[in-house]
Amino acid sequence: MENPGSGDDTRGWGPPFAQPETGGRESTYFLSANRNKESIALDLKDDADREVLTTLLRRADVLMENFRPGTLARLGFGTDVLAVLNPRLVVLSISGFGHDGPEGGRAGYDQIAQGEAGLMSLTGSDPDDPQRVGVPIADLLAGMYGAYGVLAALVEKERTGRGQVVRTSLLAAIVGVHAFQGTAWTVAGQVGRAQGNHHPSIAPYGLFRCKGGSVQLSCGSESLWRRLCAEFGLDPETPGMATNAERVGDRQRVIELLEDAFAHHPAEELLARLAAAGIPAGRVRTIDEVYTWGQTLSQGLLVDVEHDTLGRLRLPGPSAALLHPRPGRRDRDHPP
């Protein structure tokens, strides 16, 4: 649902725009967020448009809204009204910082949420270099958590016949992915800090320079550490490096040791040797390299679609694949 006249703000979030040579002002940002959707423009302060929304709500399964808390109620569509219009309706409400609490009314923008929710303090080269994640991760995660909640509410509706309200926020979404950084504080009282491209709890695990480039590798177990050392002629029992805890405590020394060993080897050679030794490793690809990579293409992560006004477009494909097992079907995951 978009604003009459101007449409959704993200239509103008560019460049880049689709078909700029023809004067088109459809941003690729808007296309990324609105795949496979039909759009309608409504002014909820207009009685006729309010009636259109009322008609839609009476037969809808789900309503998703991201107004500031209280706005929908002021427009005449509070949760009590929605429950009367459609008792089976599931309402997903996404806010910036929550629907109540001392700062519940704040507007929500992704980068502000990344900072306020602690993610930027964990991202960057060091504690004095906080960095945002390169995509609107708070926005994306809030949508994903909202979808989880909606699916659970739909399952319950099938049992009880009643809808309900699902709430999440940009703040909740980021806190929800603090993972080990969250428990490091809540359990151990340790405050995580940005430390570049190396894992705070595992070593070696990160980005390492080599001849003319870099590689990433992960030694998530002691057996992998020993394999790595054997491949490059290092002693895994070197004092201060025999256990993961010791290596984490002296991470810079581990980095220097490996980068010295890698200094005369180009990335392609290193990756081949690491693969042969069974060490998880990889490169850092640019976006264009990802979308031309055979593995990406093999997973259906690019799709060609027909757009009503822009014609044929190539877009990132869905991340989840749904398969219907058939009797007698032989899959790679289920060999005979």
Tell me the CA end-to-end span of the chain in Å, nearest whole number: 49
| Known active-site residue 139 | yes
**Cα–Cα separations (whole angstroms), residue 274 to 167, 197, 254, 325:** 45, 19, 17, 36
Q: Are 207 and 199 in contact (CB under 8 A)?
A: no
Query: Given 128, 139, 250, 288, which residue is catalytic?
Result: 139
Hey, CA dihedral for 94, 97, 102, 103, is it positive or negative?
A: negative
121: exposed, middle or buried (C-beta count within 10 Å: 0-12, 13-18, 19+)? middle
Tokens 């494909």 appear where? Answer: 317
Query: Does residue 327 have a cis peptide bond before it, meaning omega lies within 30 degrees of 0?
Result: no
List CB contacts of 91: < 8 A, sequence separation 6 or more: 62, 63, 64, 65, 79, 82, 163, 164, 165, 166
- Give me the residues paired with residue 209 across strands: 214
- CA–CA distance, 225 with 300 (Å, rounded to integer): 34
Q: Are 212 and 218 in contact (CB under 8 A)?
A: no
Catalytic sites, residue numbers: 139
